[in-house]
Structure 1
Amino acid sequence: MTRLSVEMLAADTVEPITSAGHAQLGIAAVAGIAVIVLLITKFKLHAFLALTVGSLALGAFAGAPLDKAITSFTTGLGSTVAGVGVLIALGAILGKLLADSGGADQIVDTILARAKGRAMPWAMVLIASVIGLPLFFEVGIVLLIPVVLMVAKRGNYSLMRIGIPALAGLSVMHGLIPPHPGPLVAIDAVKANLGVTLALGVLVAIPSVIIAGPLFSKVAGRWVDAPVPERMLPPRASEELENRPGFGATLATMLLPVVLMLSKALVDIVVDDPAKMVQRVFDVIGSPLIALLAAVIVGIFTLGRPAGFSKERIAGTVEKGLGPIAGILLIVGAGGGFKQTLIDCGVGQMVLDISKDWSIPALLLAWLIAVAIRLATGSATVATVSAAGLVAPLAADMSTTHTALLVLAIGAGSLFFSHVNDAGFWLVKEYFGLSVGQTLKTWSVMETIISVVAGALVLLLSLVI
Structure 2
Amino acid sequence: MDALAPAYGTGVLLLIAAAAVALLLVLIIVVRLHAFIALVLVSLLTAVAAGIPLATVPEALTSGFSSTLGSVALLVGFGVMLGRLLEATGGAQVLADTLVSRFGEKRAPFALGVAALIFGFPIFFDAGLVVFLPIILTVARRFGGSLLYYALPAAGAFAAMHALVPPHPGPVAAATLLRGDIGVVLLVGLPVALISWYVGVYLFSRWIGARVDVAMPDLLLGQQRDAHGDAPGDATAGTTGDGAGGTATATRTTAPPSFGLVLALLLLPMVLIAGNTVVSTLIQAGVLDSNGFADALILLGQTPVALLITLLVAIATIGRRGRSLAQTTSLIDDALGPICSIILITGAGGMFGGVLRTSGIGEALTSSLGGLGIPLLLQAFLIATALRVAQGSATVALTTAAGLIASQADGLGNLQVALLVVAIAAGATVLSHVNDSGFWLVSRFFGMDVKTTFKTWTVMETTLGLSAFALAALLWPLAGAIT
Shorter-normalised TM-score: what interval?
over 0.9
Unaligned runs of 5+ in 1: 1-11
Q: Is the 8 A contact 1:201 1:408 kept in 2?
A: yes
Shift, 1:154, TM fit: 2.3
1:303 aligns with 2:318: yes
Counterparts of 2:59 and 2:325 in 1: how far apart (Å)?
A: 43
Shift, 1:205, TM fit: 1.6
Shift, 1:66, TM fit: 5.6
Counterparts of 1:438 and 1:427 in 2: how far apart (Å)?
A: 14
> Which residue of 291, 306, 309 maps to 1:294?
309
Corresponding residue SS for 1:81:
helix
Q: Give the equivalent residue in structure 1 for 2:225.
A: 236
Q: Rate the CA distance shift 1:79–1:397 in 2: closer, same or farther, 3 A.
A: closer
Which residues in structure 2 correspond to 1:52-451 (within 5 Å)?
52-64=40-52, 68-233=56-221, 235-238=224-227, 240-242=251-253, 243-272=255-284, 273=288, 275-305=290-320, 307-451=321-465
Shift, 1:213, TM fit: 2.2
Q: Rate the CA distance shift 1:261–1:342 in 2: closer, same or farther, 3 A.
A: same
Counterparts of 1:235 and 1:57 in 2: how far apart (Å)?
A: 51
Unaligned runs of 5+ in 2: 229-250
> Which residue of 4, 7, 29 maps to 1:15?
4
One-letter code aligned to 1:256: L
The 10-residue stretch of structure 1 (174-183 or 274-283) with the greater mean CA deviation from structure 2: 274-283
Query: Given the two structures, how large is their TM-score scaled by the length of structure 1?
Result: 0.93
CA RMSD of the aligned region, Å?
1.8
Shift, 1:464, TM fit: 2.6
Q: Give the equivalent residue in structure 2 for 1:8.
A: none
Corresponding residue SS for 1:309:
coil
Shift, 1:65, TM fit: 5.2
Q: After superposition, give the CA deviation of every residue in 1:337-360 in whole Å (9 maximum; x if it has no partner).
A: 111111121112213443454422
Q: Is the 8 A contact 2:398 2:424 kept in 1?
A: yes
Corresponding residue SS for 1:374:
helix
How many pairs does the alignment contain?
452
Q: Rate the CA distance shift 1:222–1:68 in 2: closer, same or farther, 3 A.
A: farther
Q: After superposition, give the CA deviation of every residue in 1:117-161 in whole Å (9 maximum; x if it has no partner).
A: 331121111011000000011111111112111111122232100
The 10-residue stretch of structure 1 (285-294 or 221-230) with the greater mean CA deviation from structure 2: 221-230
Q: Rate the CA distance shift 1:164–1:238 in 2: closer, same or farther, 3 A.
A: same
Counterparts of 2:453 and 2:49 in 1: how far apart (Å)?
A: 37
Corresponding residue SS for 1:241:
coil
Q: Which has the higher contact order (CA 8 A, sep 6+)?
A: 1
Q: After superposition, give the CA deviation of every residue in 1:101-130 in whole Å (9 maximum; x if it has no partner).
A: 111111111112223333112111101100
Shift, 1:377, TM fit: 1.0
Shift, 1:374, TM fit: 0.6
Q: Rate the CA distance shift 1:112–1:70 in 2: closer, same or farther, 3 A.
A: same
Q: Give the equivalent residue in structure 1 for 2:30.
A: 42
One-letter code aligned to 2:440: W
Shift, 1:55, TM fit: 1.6
The 10-residue stretch of structure 1 (287-296 or 337-346) with the greater mean CA deviation from structure 2: 337-346
Q: Is the 8 A contact 2:170 2:394 kept in 1?
A: yes
Counterparts of 1:83 and 1:410 in 2: how far apart (Å)?
A: 18
Query: Given the two structures, how large is their TM-score scaled by the length of structure 2?
Result: 0.89
One-letter code aligned to 2:68: T
Q: Is the 8 A contact 1:335 1:386 kept in 2?
A: yes
Counterparts of 1:231 and 1:453 in 2: how far apart (Å)?
A: 32
1:26 aligns with 2:14: yes
Q: After superposition, give the CA deviation of every residue in 1:303-340 in whole Å (9 maximum; x if it has no partner).
A: 212x3121121011111111120111111111111111
Q: Is the 8 A contact 1:223 1:441 kept in 2?
A: no
Counterparts of 1:399 and 1:340 in 2: how far apart (Å)?
A: 21
Q: After superposition, give the CA deviation of every residue in 1:175-229 in whole Å (9 maximum; x if it has no partner).
A: 1111110111111111112222212112212220001222101222134312111
Counterparts of 1:277 and 1:71 in 2: how far apart (Å)?
A: 38
Shift, 1:99, TM fit: 0.7
